[in-house]
Amino acid sequence: MYDNLLNRFLTYVKIDTQSDANSTTVPSTQKQVDFAKILMKDLEDIGMSDIEYTESNGFVTATLPANTDSEAPVIGFISHMDTADFNSANIDPQIIENYNGETIVLNKQEGIRLSPDDFPNLKNYIGQTLITTDGTTLLGSDDKSGIVEIFSAMEYLIAHPEIRHGKIRVAFGPDEEIGVGADRFDVDHFGADFAYTIDGGPVGELEYESFNAAGANVLIKGKNVHPGTAKDKMVNALKLAIAYDQALPENEVPERTEGREGFYHLLGIRGTVDAAEMSYIIRDHDREAFEAKKEQMKSVAKKLNASIGENRIAIAMHDQYYNMREVIEKDMRPVELADRAMRNLSIDPIIKPIRGGTDGSKISFMGVPTPNIFAGGENFHGRYEFVAVESMEKATDVLIEIAKLAVN
């Protein structure tokens, strides 16, 4: 039905677009800029209008004009160009047709296998066409599936002018994976009444509740003295780092939480006896519990400083995004519309909180309610990532159905 979907996906995932959290440029990598230029040419080729690249934020935007005089909201469809911090060079996608439900050998030489024993979700795709990695890279379905689904939906609507729809705006943005892509998104220029990020997982996901999120760096000053004369003098920054982490609630970590339960997540630790630094992310769906977690991190530092009699532990903390439900529940039109679209297509909506965030988490607070719709992929951000062609086709169906239903 969507003739160019598979070939476009295979082409796009082979293009390395990884973002870089240590960069200060916008976008964070030149390869995202290069990909943006490819997308602009492809948008022109399928017949989109108002195609622009905005240097100040790294977004590509385009318009599908309305083909009806009937009243309809301006709808936005958004996906991100970058991939996560796993090997993204030389991606070699593998196609498994009519998947039989057995273990897939991703890389025979390195003994890397995609097994339903480890990933029972594979059993949901028996008989379908899977696209996997070769076991050495991620795939990039997050979020190039979303990009090609938007392309396929727009291409189909252009080819079928008998389908009445209102004005549709599309956007492809940078740096979602490092949490800063939507910071400079221009909602006024985009001009949508509401939007959707096409950035979810398996078929049916419809999400309008995300974490509240913060990042924290714990900075520790030690005192390095020769170990032979260190008694009552040395202060080991690494030992303080260990003590700090152990003072946080031991069960409030990603590996022991689910659903709406929040967590503290130690991302990294580096240092010496003289100085150490730990980086954390803090997550909770409940705003009060989120604020309490931030206070708990400060309290632990205060208590440890008091125990050693001097201020050697400091915390630099910043909020990253908030639970988009606070905004979207005031205007549930996009959720209700997507729910109807899925049900019309015999897809059971899976409405649940995201244990993470999307660009929609920030864009919603900018004034454009932006829930998240499935893009179809699974096992994101690593060598076991895969997506079914049929899932991408269903996501495309949903976007077209949303466009149809939005016309009054």
**Spatial strand order in the sheet of 212-221:** 263-271, 275-284, 212-221, 313-321
CATH number of 223's domain: 3.30.70.360
DSSP E strands, 165-290: 168-173, 194-200, 205-207, 212-221, 263-271, 275-284
Q: Determine contact, residues 165/64, Cβ cutoff 8 Å.
A: yes
What's the predicted TM-score (pTM) here?
Answer: 0.91
What pLDDT, on the 0 to 100 scale, is given for residue 197?
98
97 is annotated as an active-site residue:
no
Rounded Cα distance, 198 and 187, in Å = 17
What pLDDT, on the 0 to 100 scale, is given for residue 1?
80
Q: SS3 for 300?
A: helix
* Burial group, residue 140, by CB count within 10 angstroms (0-12, 13-18, 19+): buried
What pLDDT, on the 0 to 100 scale, is given for residue 236?
97
Residues 46 and 195 occupy one common structural domain = yes
Q: Determine contact, residues 168/74, Cβ cutoff 8 Å.
A: yes
Residues 106 and 94 occupy one common structural domain = yes
Residues 328 and 273 occupy one common structural domain = no
Residues 152 and 274 occupy one common structural domain = no
Residues 59 and 163 occupy one common structural domain = yes
Residues 18 and 147 occupy one common structural domain = yes
176 is annotated as an active-site residue:
yes
Active-site hit among 20, 82, 205, 252: 82
Domain assignment of residue 41, given as a range: 5-210+323-405
What pLDDT, on the 0 to 100 scale, is given for residue 179?
87
CATH number of 166's domain: 3.40.630.10
Residues 352 and 396 occupy one common structural domain = yes
Cis status of the peptide bond prior to 369, with omega within 30 of 0 = no
Point out the domain boundary residue: 270, 299, 320.
320
Residues 20 and 97 occupy one common structural domain = yes
Residues 140 and 243 occupy one common structural domain = no
Residues 315 and 363 occupy one common structural domain = no
Nearest by Cα to 61 from 76, 82, 45: 76
The per-residue b/e assignment along 12-37, b for 16 or more CB within 10 angstroms, e otherwise, is: bbebbbbbbeeeeebbbbebbbebbe
State the virtual CA torsion across 231, 232, 236, 241 in degrees, nearest 10: 140
Residues 121 and 264 occupy one common structural domain = no
Active-site hit among 16, 20, 175, 176: 176
What pLDDT, on the 0 to 100 scale, is given for residue 33?
97
Point out the domain boundary residue: 320, 336, 355.
320
Residues 310 and 292 occupy one common structural domain = yes
User: For each of the chain's 408 residues, which pLDDT tens digit applies?
Assistant: 899 999 999 999 999 999 998 999 999 999 999 999 999 999 999 999 999 999 999 999 999 999 999 999 999 999 999 999 898 999 999 999 999 999 999 999 999 999 999 999 999 999 999 999 999 999 999 999 999 999 999 999 999 999 999 999 999 999 999 989 999 999 999 999 999 999 999 999 999 999 999 999 999 999 999 999 999 999 999 999 999 999 999 999 999 999 999 999 999 999 999 999 999 999 999 999 999 999 999 999 999 999 999 999 999 999 999 999 999 999 999 999 999 999 999 999 999 999 988 899 999 999 999 999 999 999 999 999 999 999 999 999 999 999 999 997
**Tokens describing residue 309:** 């009699």
Number of domains, the chain? 2
Cβ neighbour number for residue 169 with a 10 Å cutoff: 20
Cis status of the peptide bond prior to 143, with omega within 30 of 0 = yes
What pLDDT, on the 0 to 100 scale, is given for residue 18?
96
Point out the domain boundary residue: 305, 320, 335.
320
